[in-house]
Amino acid sequence: MELGRSKTRCQRLILAGLTLCALFVTRPSSAIDIRANTEVIVENGTTGVLHCSFKSNQVVSSATSVTWSFQSSHSDNKFSKDSYTILYFVGGKAFPGQEEFKERISFIGDINKRDVSIQLSPVQFSDNGTYFCDVKNPPDVEGTRARTELRVVLREAFPQKNTALIVGSVIGVVVLLVLIGVAACVVARVVRSRHDYEGCRSLDSVSSSQAPPPRKKLESSASEASRGAVRRGPYR
Ligand SMILES: *[C@@H]1O[C@H](CO)[C@@H](O)[C@H](O)[C@H]1NC(C)=O
Ligand SMILES: *[C@@H]1O[C@H](CO)[C@@H](O)[C@H](O)[C@H]1NC(C)=O
């Protein structure tokens, strides 16, 4: 009875383990996993890097190929209807396509490290749109191509203005803090000097006409002693 129960439990455990193994082992091998940045922002006239990498449990060989294609986001662009191949990589060699990209596109990845990134230099406003990265690593050929939205922004509008704004506000805040500090010092000085001379004098004159004020004097000398400036010696 006891033996039978543990036996079925053991069988269940083995079954569960096998199922888990099957899930983890067969899943990645069924497809090639291609990854790219969702969005890349580049200023016109600079170099834009489009990163892409893949995971495959088959070895990388000379048959491994990469296809980069582009679809423009501008409806009047000739590449807006569909995605067009702009670079094909196979056998360790890159083959740029499309006249508009030929001179500006280069493969900067390392296929053995499963990095298939490219760069565009210089980036133009007409490059704004969607880039697709597709990899075939035979016999691992199934997989969804990765996509990156390239946003080309005006060079002047992007960093300089922002930097100027940030630097300007930091300087403004510092100046404001210094001014507040100076004002606080001045106010504190005025208040203190009034208290020390006018305030105390008037207090003295008031108290001299009434009862002698030993506690008041003691207090003020104590507070002055704590400040390190003892001027009322006799009451110490
Ligand atoms: C970026 O585009 C603007 C507007 O077309 C142009 O004036 C500027 O020269 C361009 N910058 C570069 C570096 O190409
Ligand atoms: C650039 O392309 C993105 C999509 O990739 C789009 O959302 C954006 O409006 C485009 N910018 C311009 C100025 O056309």
Domain ranges within the chain, ordered by starting residue: 29-156, 160-235
CA 112/CA 69 separation, integer angstroms: 21
Q: What pLDDT is attached to residue 79? A: 97
The first and second tokens of residue 25, run together, are 């082992």
Give the pLDDT confidence of 2-16 residue by residue, as tens digits.
555 555 664 665 555
Q: Which residue has the higher pLDDT, 192 or 137?
A: 137
Instruction: Say if domain 29-156 classifies as CATH 2.60.40.10.
Output: yes
Q: What pLDDT is attached to residue 150? A: 98
Cβ burial 212-231 (10 Å sphere, 16+ → b, else e): eeeeebeebbeeeeeeeeee
Among the bound ligands, name the one nearest to the CA of residue 152.
2
The first and second tokens of residue 230, run together, are 């003892």
* Mutation to probe ligand 1, out of 46, 156, 158 (largest number of atoms < 8 A from CB): 156
Give the pLDDT confidence of 152-166 residue by residue, as tens digits.
999 875 555 566 677
Our answer on whether the CB atom of 157 is closer than 6 Å to any ligand 1 atom is: no
Residue 109 φ then ψ, to 5° = -80, -175
Kindly give, in sequence order, each residue whose CB lies less than 8 Å from that of residue 234, ignoring residues fewer than 6 positions away.
none
Residue nearest to atom 2 of ligand 2 (CA): 129
State the pLDDT confidence band at 175, using cuts at 50, 70 and 90.
confident
111, burial (CB in 10 Å: exposed 0-12, middle 13-18, buried 19+): buried
* Mutation to probe ligand 1, out of 153, 155, 161 (largest number of atoms < 8 A from CB): 155
The first and second tokens of residue 76, run together, are 């009047």
Among the bound ligands, name the one nearest to the CA of residue 156.
1
Q: Which amino acid is at 217?
A: K
Among the bound ligands, name the one nearest to the CA of residue 158.
1
* Mutation to probe ligand 2, out of 38, 39, 73 (largest number of atoms < 8 A from CB): 73
Atom of ligand 2 nearest to the CA of 129: 5
Q: What pLDDT is attached to residue 157? A: 59
Measure 125 CA to ligand 2 centroid, in angstroms: 9
Q: pTM of the prediction? A: 0.60
